[in-house]
Amino acid sequence: MKIAVVGLGLIGGSMALVLKQKGFATKVYGVDNQEAHTKKALELGIVDEITDLDKAVAVSDLVILSAPVSACAALLPGILDQVEHQIILDTGSTKMSLLEAANGHTKRGRYIATHPMWGTEFSGPEAATELAFTGRANVICNASESDKDALETVEQLYALLGMYNVYMDGKDHDVHVAYVSHISHITSFALANTVLEKEKEENAIFELASAGFESTVRLAKSSPAMWVPIFQQNKENVLDVLNEHITQLRKFKSCIEKENWAYLSELMEHANKIRNVLDRKA
Amino acid sequence: MKIAVVGLGLIGGSMALVLKQKGFATKVYGVDNQEAHTKKALELGIVDEITDLDKAVAVSDLVILSAPVSACAALLPGILDQVEHQIILDTGSTKMSLLEAANGHTKRGRYIATHPMWGTEFSGPEAATELAFTGRANVICNASESDKDALETVEQLYALLGMYNVYMDGKDHDVHVAYVSHISHITSFALANTVLEKEKEENAIFELASAGFESTVRLAKSSPAMWVPIFQQNKENVLDVLNEHITQLRKFKSCIEKENWAYLSELMEHANKIRNVLDRKA
């Protein structure tokens, strides 16, 4: 199957690598508006040929949209205009703006809204890896709006990546990811700024930072070019969660200020329940 | 050398295991007020004999205080009263309360205030591991107040654990750890409560939680019995950092509310600078 990858970053690049390795992709066309990305992707063997978007859609059987989510939403209607038999999927971290962009289009059925729940704090084609995706969930949203043959091909594609498919309404997806992904990034960015603000002595951070610190600020290395559009697209849900999170932090603050150690202990015991979720996963 | 370990948890247990394996400890006496811990520590071969605190101090050459930091501070003066040639070290996450407890004691020189910068979210003797500590910093506070021979022995002990020693004033230590360790735990506990509060459907968290979520909430599994005393002892520093962190989070909130995407991007680019610290470490 001939595949076009639009946006040669961590996700698109990793998908291309694995799909080629597994024989699912016989030829990969790459599209990206950054020359550094297209050059690097060719050099690393992630794509076979660089082309423009129109040609990539015309010659491919399957188009993977893996650019920042706002760019994907802007491109989708134009791509659908051009589609005959092709299948279009996107890998964006929010789904409502894409679903709305496709809504009512005569070729709506050729589009599958997906979100593979994998990523790292690294970006660009040089971050792409064949070791990606395995064992993680891929969310498919509003599956009933897609053509059956297109849906089945995309389900097979994700199964080949070692992922299991989960089905969800797009609206629910965007609420859930605000909780299990977007807020983690905000706290991590804010934590990095907290430490950088006060700890002017970088040496002290460097020497004392333990594994716990590293795991909580790791996501602060993430790319603004990817994350600003996500917070844009999912504004209301992200604000809901952020408000709740500030409320929860204030509870900790109040306990420490008032030396209410019994309630502080209760808050932590409650937080310990997250074990049920994490340990089921492990 | 005969060693007493007071507090048979992750840190004390791991130290006993490594020091026995390296031949530094010829016999390990264990002290803990929880019978489940003493039983488990004997069973796992972490200690050779369980005894009470007075006997453990009397028969040992070196005493490791690795109970929760408030307990260590309370025990330290009584232990120093009993000391002749023995060396006492503690591994607590805050140092000022211990330094103050030892201050002015005629045997002050026999005490070394240390903080090995390693830990996990797990606790109890069953979490102890011979694979601990390597490559991490150990902080020694107010080293000039300790006897030279005692200091040298403790420096060797940490070198044997594969750690490098860093020297610091106790006051500075407590400020720095608020930034590079304590705040990470608070954000993680609060993040877990945020998600548990809103996501009543555990299945959604379970299915969608990505690696990013796991790394930011991992510390929320930590033990309240260890962490309440740390926040108690380091109250003022922790509140300073927590206030700064809430201020930083409010900046993100305000950018998203006002759709000030340019400033949001700037905040993230600033946070990206944490790479300099993390990558130097890796």
What kind of fold does domain B2-169 have according to CATH? Answer: Rossmann fold (3.40.50)
Q: Is A137–B208 a contact, with Cβ atoms under 8 angstroms apart?
A: yes
- Each residue's pLDDT expressed in tens, for chain A with a length of 282 residues: 999 999 999 999 999 999 999 999 999 999 999 999 999 999 999 999 999 999 999 999 999 999 999 999 999 999 999 999 999 999 999 999 999 999 999 999 999 999 999 888 888 999 999 889 999 999 999 999 999 999 999 999 999 999 999 999 999 999 999 998 999 999 999 999 999 887 776 666 767 777 778 888 999 999 999 999 999 999 999 999 999 999 999 999 999 999 999 999 999 999 999 888 777 655
d(CA B139, CA B237): 18
Q: Is B191–A179 a contact, with Cβ atoms under 8 angstroms apart?
A: no
Of B172, B187, B243, the CB nearest to A187: B187
Q: Which chain A residue is nearest to residue B259, measuring alpha carbons? A: A232
Given this model, what pLDDT does residue B278 score?
A: 78
Of A210, A249, A276, the CB nearest to B180: A210
Residues contacting residue B123 through CB under 8 Å, at least 6 positions apart: B9, B10, B222, B223, B225, B226
Using an 8 Å Cβ cutoff, are B60 and B151 in contact? no
d(CA B163, CA A208): 12
Q: Which chain A residue is nearest to residue B234, measuring alpha carbons? A: A256
Q: Of B121, B279, B140, B231, which is closest to residue A252 (Cα–Cα)?
A: B231
Given this model, what pLDDT does residue B201 score?
A: 65
Q: Is B248–A276 a contact, with Cβ atoms under 8 angstroms apart?
A: no
- Each residue's pLDDT expressed in tens, for chain B with a length of 282 residues: 999 999 999 999 999 999 999 999 999 999 999 999 999 999 999 999 999 999 999 999 999 999 999 999 999 999 999 999 999 999 999 999 999 999 999 999 999 999 999 888 888 999 999 889 999 999 999 999 999 999 999 999 999 999 999 999 999 999 999 998 999 999 999 999 999 887 766 666 767 777 778 888 999 999 999 999 999 999 999 999 999 999 999 999 999 999 999 999 999 999 999 888 777 655
User: A219 CA to chain B: closest CA distance, Å?
Assistant: 7
- CB pairs below 8 Å between A and B: how many? 307
Within this chain, domains B2-169 and B173-281 share the same CATH topology = no
d(CA B28, CA B49): 7
Q: Is B181–A256 a contact, with Cβ atoms under 8 angstroms apart?
A: no
Of A185, A194, A267, the CB nearest to B212: A185
User: A268 CA to chain B: closest CA distance, Å?
Assistant: 6
Superfamily of domain A173-281: 6-phosphogluconate dehydrogenase C-terminal like domain (1.10.3660.10)
Q: Is A211–B119 a contact, with Cβ atoms under 8 angstroms apart?
A: yes
Of A211, A214, A249, the CB nearest to B246: A249
Question: Which chain B residues touch A117 with a CB distance below 8 Å?
Answer: 208-210
Beta pairing class for A164-168 and B137-141: unpaired
Amino acid letter, B273? K
B208, containing H or E segment = helix B202-208
Q: How far is CA A23 from CA A59, A141, A161, B248, in A?
A: 18, 26, 12, 47
Structural domain boundaries of chain A?
2-169, 173-281
Using an 8 Å Cβ cutoff, are B203 and A139 in contact? no
Q: Is the dihedral of CA B153, B154, B155, B156 positive or negative?
A: positive
Q: Is B243–A249 a contact, with Cβ atoms under 8 angstroms apart?
A: no
Q: Is B244–A136 a contact, with Cβ atoms under 8 angstroms apart?
A: no
* HEC profile of A141-181: ECHHHCCHHHHHHHHHHHHHCCCEEEEECHHHHHHHHHHHH
For chain A, report the end-to-end CA distance as a whole number of angstroms: 34
